[in-house]
Amino acid sequence: MNRSVTFVAGKKEKQKAMQQTEVDNQKWYVLYTAPRAEKQVESRIQGMGVICWLPLHKSPRVWSDRVKIVDIPLFPSYIFVKCAETDLYKLLRIPGVSRIVYYNGKPAVVREKELDSIRTFLEEAANHPLMEGEEAEIVCGVMKHVSGKIRRIRKKYLLLYLAQLGAHVCVSLEKVYPVNRIR
């Protein structure tokens, strides 16, 4: 009886070791996608059970009648996947995946440390509030595309100094974005 118990325990340990080596063989790779297909590719890859990450950041998009905050890819047409190199080639069959990114003739491997740096950058950028003295631009209304320095910030509005006019203007916080964030 002890032999069968040892055999079962040995089999479980073997399976656990196999799973561990499978996880150890997984690395982060980069896929190039069709233009504006990153989010669809991400959902398809996740549907296959593969770990992937699409770094997104919030950015204001200006239309003629409104401003909307949208999530856009930090690296357009690129997505990170964590898998074994052999599984990487299977991902090329997914609609929207154009190719694997190569470096020195091999699929480019991204270190976990580099991805952590990107995550940290995105967290810090998302939490960056408007600050007094910062340059900001009005993104809608009569004074659309006029920029100035922030003098005072209140709960729902701010005081913006417009050097072109030599005047201070009260503007709703929703209608002003830092100059470096508008594209």
pLDDT at 38: 97
Q: Domain locations in the chain? A: 2-126, 135-181
pLDDT at 40: 98
Residue type, 5: V
B/e letters for 63-96, b = 16+ CB within 10 Å, e = fewer, are eeeebeeeeebbeebebbbbbeeebbeebeebeb
CA separation for the pair 38, 97 (Å, rounded): 9
Is the confidence at residue 20, as pLDDT, over 60? no
Neighbour count for residue 46 (Cβ, 10 Å): 13
Q: Are the CB atoms for 30 and 108 separated by under 8 Å?
A: yes
Name the percent of the chain lying above pLDDT 90: 54
Comparison of pLDDT for 32 and 8, the residue scoring more: 32
Q: Which CATH class is domain 2-126?
A: alpha beta
What is the C-alpha R_g of the chain? 25
CATH topology of domain 135-181: SH3 type barrels. (2.30.30)
Residues 33-54 have pLDDT tens digits of 999 999 999 999 999 999 999 9
Q: Considering Cα of 48, then 123, then 37, then 175, what sign does the dihedral take?
A: positive
Is the confidence at residue 16, as pLDDT, over 80? no
Mean pLDDT for 85-111 is: 96
